[in-house]
Structure 1
């Protein structure tokens, strides 16, 4: 067993973890960053989800470091890919020409750029990155975390890491039960939160669906049909009570209205991807599946470079609602993950063999998995897409009444005196393990209160991902890529600020003067903490 000591231990290498590590490093701290998988980047890379972002992301509403990530992804394509001249010149290049985001790109490119952002700190000896490591235990002394045990998933070796501060940036808040930090899961009750969209009784195991994403191309005239999945018959006929037909079908509930909506599926349209304006405030949910989450548009590149587009399958058809992947015994969680993988493979097999085509035929046998794009042997994403995590019982809990248009009217979202970042998205909750359909609530652009990162009791652990102090409802708009980055960045900056000023997080949040000093520190680092006067979507 190996021992190490650093100023800041960041557990979890998703977007919040990388942002938190960078923020602490820029302020002089030494950092160890651990990650369960071989890639960093979480929902952007291992979970293979193109970023959900607000419509103003190119101009404002993020931080300098998040813009550096986005710029780096575009530059990677310009430097290494055979782009057409007009695409290479486009300052807002969207490599996939996808409609879900102004920056749809391959997961491996996001992982490469995140690695590049961290490499200088590794070279300087200030940062250690441990891939394929997962936390398995923690030691505490009163209200402080004194050590964390990380296990190498490839060798079984363990490391004991001591640090002044611990950032929990895991996808499901794994450090919270390990350290005894108080937390909540699933739906809080209306009596607890006062939220109009909450149920009367708490439902702690009612958690949003996970999805196992995959990338496909289409090669007309070829046959790439996979072996029939073992559970195909089950998934072909599976129908949640609120679904208008079998879930493996082109008709699904509309996320906003819950009315039946029939999708279109048309691989490889001969379009001009540079003319697509990705704006979910105008095009919510998109009826056409292929281009919505397309991550490589062949018409961006020189003729003949690519035989097909590449599209990412992260559709309602693979939302797995059979049960949660955490807060259950390990064998039960493994069973749910295996079932979610079977659901995704069953969708692919259905599309290849039985899906109705516009020409009256059935199936697209030319659909081919792209394991090389996903960094896996089977073509499925390295990790399931977690939309929801354990959430700390924080000093402040963001509730629906803070930002929902129905509650706030024309006043906009609550302006927090301790804001440390901004975000914007509708409250968008996918179907859940408790049998709920979509929940959709229009919301104002919002802020991230510093107190939502800080536990009520534990003194040196900070939430740095989707585990901040939100509710099941408000997690629906705080779970997106730029917001997770912002939360992690603020947590890493707070840890370093506390180290430099010999303060604890609760001392900072309890002192208006210290909060202002910290906010100035953030703003000097290019972090936006307020919104201009804009309309929601």
Structure 2
């Protein structure tokens, strides 16, 4: 049963909380794990899935009560895929199973009949499907799954030399009897979730996670692993390993960067999604008290997108009755019909895009240090609560703009027309599963990204860069002018493959160097992905909704098509700590590369690798960094784990990948 709560009432929920954490009390229980997975998004589920199939004991924490991240708790239940990879069904085995189960659930892959994807569906079903997949993997692999929803990691205990996480302290929060879970927005509950003490909202259980097995005699290999698959890189921040955040400085590796120096306060925007239902009759629409603050931001963005039916059907997640055929701006769709449900995720709508040190969501290391969050017991999640609150208000306001607004910040007045035959869906049985109607957690496009260990060719630490994946040919005079002669020559040499030495020496003019037509091939590739480099840039002024505000200039320069790419194992191994692996969006990618390394199938592939490699490392008493520490020389154990991944149906390379194959233009 769906419930509608007026936006005026919802606005009264949005009040900031203080950030006071009581001292820890003794753990209520101790739990043994082979592998501790932190974060229940697709990468975390994939990690657990493969580890369970390998027979391991997996402890799995998630801040919300739903598994699936993007496809469930974040509400973006529309699979982002590229046509060729989808046509060839060239995905990890678990991701293929997910797609098959979606189709079996509905009798078709696209019950929403959306046009952005081949599969749009209800978020709650994403959670249910993934939960069942993990239970089935546990049974097939004879592993053990210990799920801990509504649980956050509060503290880490490190070894005396700082190289091993010996244990992790977590806080599990349960609702009090009088207030159901998912009543409050995240901004109202997140700081409470990281407090040890019971509150009026939650009662707490303190859990200590420790290794299941003791270290093997004479072995220095870790006896358990912690996998950070959180949405913002929480564990890498808490463990204080080197990482990047926001824009990287411009170089031959990241030539399209919008800044000559790095800017850690400008990551991609984040989004609270929500669901709305088309109705036969007009519905009462209540203007939120804060609407006027955010209304200067909202827009259809482009004239070719300025159609409410087009926007509604873009991510329509439920369509029980086919509507009449429609078309706008060259896009074909079926028009909304009563009972259709749309999930909203729109750049100039419910995206929230802060870009300054005054309003950024993900705290930098300096900000964490200044706020005391890196002190013992001080961790509170590493996010700015006020940015969450304002993003929530912005999302509520966007709904009102869709149904009642007549302004448009980018196209001017006279284009946007009211659409009163819709209602905002809220309530515990609504698509988002919350009383307030917003997603349980915002859709995160970018978080903290580790800097890998020094590696051959990258002595400052391994990273996957823009030029490793972009199809851009860089012949635009902008690059030669902006980079300068030396850096531009290095760029052309890096892209020229077998001609690199000739270009660097000057024998071949930089502008004449042939450009390779593939992504970088990594000898330690342990997964795959393919998606366009897609930007939702931060805004220049604070706050983002400032009238007349603009996107950060130059941020979209790096956007465009990418070649099918690989995930390097070195991108998953952080510095300093030997039993920590990183999956999801926090692997070692640059700001521009991260804009492609963030979608559903990539997350699964990275998680599948993390689960497989951690299980392999435990079985063979070897630390993951030892699999790559002699590259580019042969690494027999690395080859063994790559064979294992491939045998298990988890590709590490696309078909016919080699330095001699230049035929990648057909991959769309």
Shared fold by TM > 0.5? yes
- Asked if 1:508 is matched to 2:627, the reply is yes
Give the Cα–Cα distance (whole angstroms) in 2 for the partners of residues 94 and 261 of structure 1: 24
The more displaced of 503-512 and 206-215 is: 503-512
- Asked if 1:150 is matched to 2:181, the reply is no
Give the Cα–Cα distance (whole angstroms) in 2 for the partners of residues 324 and 485 of structure 1: 28
Offset at residue 95 of structure 1 (A): 1.2
Equivalence for 2:351: 319
Change (3 A) 1:159 1:399: same
- Asked if 1:526 is matched to 2:649, the reply is yes
Offset at residue 325 of structure 1 (A): 2.0
- Asked if 1:171 is matched to 2:231, the reply is yes
- Asked if 1:64 is matched to 2:112, the reply is no
The answer as to whether partners of 2:305 and 2:311 remain within 8 angstroms in 1 is no
TM-score (norm 1): 0.85
Q: Indicate which of 19, 28, 35 corresponds to 2:46.
A: 19
Give 3-state SS (helix, strand or coil) of 1:167's partner.
strand
Equivalence for 2:288: 229
Give the Cα–Cα distance (whole angstroms) in 1 for the partners of residues 628 and 389 of structure 2: 43
Greater Rg over alpha carbons, structure: 2
Give the Cα–Cα distance (whole angstroms) in 2 for the partners of residues 122 and 412 of structure 1: 38
- Asked if 1:30 is matched to 2:57, the reply is yes
Change (3 A) 1:420 1:12: same
Give the Cα–Cα distance (whole angstroms) in 1 for the partners of residues 383 and 648 of structure 2: 44
Offset at residue 507 of structure 1 (A): 0.9
Equivalence for 2:590: 471
The answer as to whether partners of 2:277 and 2:342 remain within 8 angstroms in 1 is yes
- 1:298-337, Cα deviation, whole Å (9 max, x unpaired): 2369xxxx84211110011222123332215669711111
Change (3 A) 1:140 1:108: same
Give the Cα–Cα distance (whole angstroms) in 2 for the partners of residues 360 and 531 of structure 1: 45
Offset at residue 156 of structure 1 (A): 2.1
Offset at residue 445 of structure 1 (A): 1.0
The more displaced of 360-369 and 465-474 is: 360-369
Equivalence for 2:385: 334
- Asked if 1:364 is matched to 2:419, the reply is yes
Q: Indicate which of 449, 452, 467 corresponds to 2:571.
A: 452
- 1:255-287, Cα deviation, whole Å (9 max, x unpaired): xxxxx6542112xxxxxxxxxxxxxxxxxxxxx
Give the Cα–Cα distance (whole angstroms) in 2 for the partners of residues 378 and 299 of structure 1: 27
Offset at residue 173 of structure 1 (A): 0.5
Equivalence for 1:382: 440
Give the Cα–Cα distance (whole angstroms) in 1 for the partners of residues 94 and 150 of structure 2: 25
Change (3 A) 1:410 1:122: closer
Q: Indicate which of 427, 431, 440 corresponds to 2:533.
A: 427
- Asked if 1:107 is matched to 2:123, the reply is yes
Give 3-state SS (helix, strand or coil) of 2:342's partner.
strand
Offset at residue 100 of structure 1 (A): 1.5
Equivalence for 1:48: 75
- Asked if 1:180 is matched to 2:240, the reply is yes
The more displaced of 501-510 and 473-482 is: 501-510
The answer as to whether partners of 1:394 and 1:455 remain within 8 angstroms in 2 is yes
Give 3-state SS (helix, strand or coil) of 1:152's partner.
strand
The more displaced of 198-207 and 163-172 is: 198-207
The more displaced of 472-481 and 359-368 is: 359-368
The more displaced of 525-534 and 428-437 is: 428-437
RMSD across aligned positions (CA): 2.4
**Count of residues paired in the alignment:** 482
Give the Cα–Cα distance (whole angstroms) in 2 for the partners of residues 300 and 26 of structure 1: 40
Q: Indicate which of 96, 99, 110 corresponds to 2:112.
A: 96
TM-score (norm 2): 0.69
Gaps of 5+ in 2: 1-26, 175-202, 212-223, 324-336, 372-379, 454-461, 474-494, 496-514, 541-550, 656-662
Offset at residue 101 of structure 1 (A): 1.3
Offset at residue 39 of structure 1 (A): 0.4
Give the Cα–Cα distance (whole angstroms) in 2 for the partners of residues 248 and 13 of structure 1: 31
Offset at residue 410 of structure 1 (A): 4.4
Offset at residue 351 of structure 1 (A): 2.0
Give 3-state SS (helix, strand or coil) of 2:112's partner.
coil
Gaps of 5+ in 1: 79-87, 238-246, 254-259, 267-287
Offset at residue 472 of structure 1 (A): 0.8
4+ residue runs of structure 1 moved beyond 6 angstroms? 356-361
Equivalence for 2:326: none
- Asked if 1:134 is matched to 2:185, the reply is no
The answer as to whether partners of 2:38 and 2:61 remain within 8 angstroms in 1 is yes
Equivalence for 1:344: 395
Offset at residue 447 of structure 1 (A): 0.8
